Amino acid sequence: MDMKAARPVIIAGNWKMNTTPASAGALASEIARATEVDGVTRVLCPPFVALAAVRDALAGTGVEVGAQNVHAEVAGAYTGEVSAQMLAGLASWAIVGHSERRRDQGESDELIGRKLVRCVEQGLRPILCVGEQLEEREAGNAEDTVRVQLERATAEVRRQGSELPPDLVVAYEPVWAIGTGRTARGSDAAVMAQLIRLVLDESGIEGGAENVPVLYGGSVTSAAIDEFLAEPDIDGALVGGASLKVDEMAGIVARAGMTASARRQTKDGAA
Ligand code: PEP
């Protein structure tokens, strides 16, 4: 069986610190209506306070709900924080290790590893974000940076007596491409996707890394996504700014739908 073709095509929207409980439901409904396309897993990640509104708005649409973060501890004296178990009934996915949190909250790979463990415990499907800074790419260290991020997070998962979740999704998000209007090259992102699966295989992920979807993130728009979807190693996108625009999401998911259908045909032809 062609395992590559078996991976889902996923479009996840990260709304970051945008929308309110009053506005998020309507936006989610509009996006759900505008993106009814076969074969694409759609996920919207609103702010915590809008999760309930978005969950209600998306009921019955097939669009799934994700949180933008979880705390690394189970519970305790962490004022203002949100644990994985608090998300029960609100979200089924969680973004972990987003570069804006690595930058603004100083999140380390070890802390991110503990967040992965919390996701496993609560059955949340994690989207683990990795990616290099511009200086690291310019110095030729992009691949080493991503390798180390994955190895350290994985080692911490093991240190906690846990395993990497078999339903893990990894988002390769070069930091210099996030919110800048600048995208990576599709071919560079594909090389990184191959490296990500190599490192996950070395770490012994259950089911094998060939089954792990790898997304690209960084200034994805409906005009820019084709270059990434054209790469068989890339399985969709984590979309920030453009995920707040209904027309953009419609265009992005439509293109992802064409990719999903083409990959299905390749798989059926090969079977
Ligand atoms: C993101 O938030 O993960 C992201 C990639 O943002 P943007 O699409 O706005 O660059």
Question: What residues are paired with 125 via a beta bridge?
Answer: 93
* Across 7-11, 94-98, 263-267, least confident range: 263-267
Looking at residue 5, its pLDDT comes to 46
Is there an atom of ligand 1 within 6 Å of 53 CB? no
The total number of residues written for the chain in this structure:
271
**Residue 259 DSSP class:** H
Is there an atom of ligand 1 within 6 Å of 238 CB? yes
Nearest to 14, CA basis, from 68, 87, 90, 51? 68
Residue 168, exposed/middle/buried by CB under 10 A (0-12, 13-18, 19+)? buried
Q: How far apart are CA 97 and CA 12, in angstroms?
A: 15
Average pLDDT, the chain: 95
Torsion of CA 241, 247, 248, 249, to 10 degrees: 90
Buried b (16+ CB within 10 A) or exposed e, 99-117: bbbbeeeebbbebbbbbbb
pLDDT digits (tens, 9 = 90+) for 114-126: 999 999 999 999 9
Looking at residue 271, its pLDDT comes to 61
Helix (H) or strand (E) holding 217: strand 214-217
Give 242 Cα–ligand 1 centroid separation in angstroms: 8
Give 99 Cα–ligand 1 centroid separation in angstroms: 10
Looking at residue 266, its pLDDT comes to 85
Q: What is the mean pLDDT of residues 169-174?
A: 98
Confidence of residue 6 (pLDDT cuts 50, 70, 90): confident
Q: What is the mean pLDDT of residues 229-251?
A: 98
Please report, rounded to a whole number, the percentage of residues in the chain having pLDDT higher than 70.
98
Q: How far apart are CA 23 and CA 233, in angstroms?
A: 36
Q: What does 4-70 look like in DSSP terms, one character per residue? A: HHHSPEEEEEE--S---HHHHHHHHHHHHHHT--TTEEEEEE--GGGHHHHHHHHTTTS-EEEES--
The token pair that represents 75 in the structure block? 């519970």
DSSP three-state, residue 96: strand
Ligand 1 atom at shortest distance from the alpha carbon of 179: 10
Is there an atom of ligand 1 within 6 Å of 183 CB? no
Give 260 Cα–ligand 1 centroid separation in angstroms: 22
Ligand 1 atom at shortest distance from the alpha carbon of 98: 3
Tracing tokens 């979740």 back to the chain, one arrives at 165
Is there an atom of ligand 1 within 6 Å of 241 CB? yes
Is the pLDDT assigned to residue 1 strictly greater than 60?
no
Report which protein residue has its CA nearest ligand 1's atom 7: 240
Is there an atom of ligand 1 within 6 Å of 122 CB? no
> Which positions are catalytic?
98, 173
Residue 206, exposed/middle/buried by CB under 10 A (0-12, 13-18, 19+)? exposed
Helices H / strands E in the chain, number of each: 10, 8
Helix (H) or strand (E) holding 79: none
Is there an atom of ligand 1 within 6 Å of 179 CB? yes
Is the pLDDT assigned to residue 3 strictly greater than 90?
no
Nearest to 31, CA basis, from 247, 222, 180? 247
Q: What is the mean pLDDT of residues 184-194?
A: 97
Report which protein residue has its CA nearest ligand 1's atom 3: 240
Q: How far apart are CA 208 and CA 224, in angstroms?
A: 30
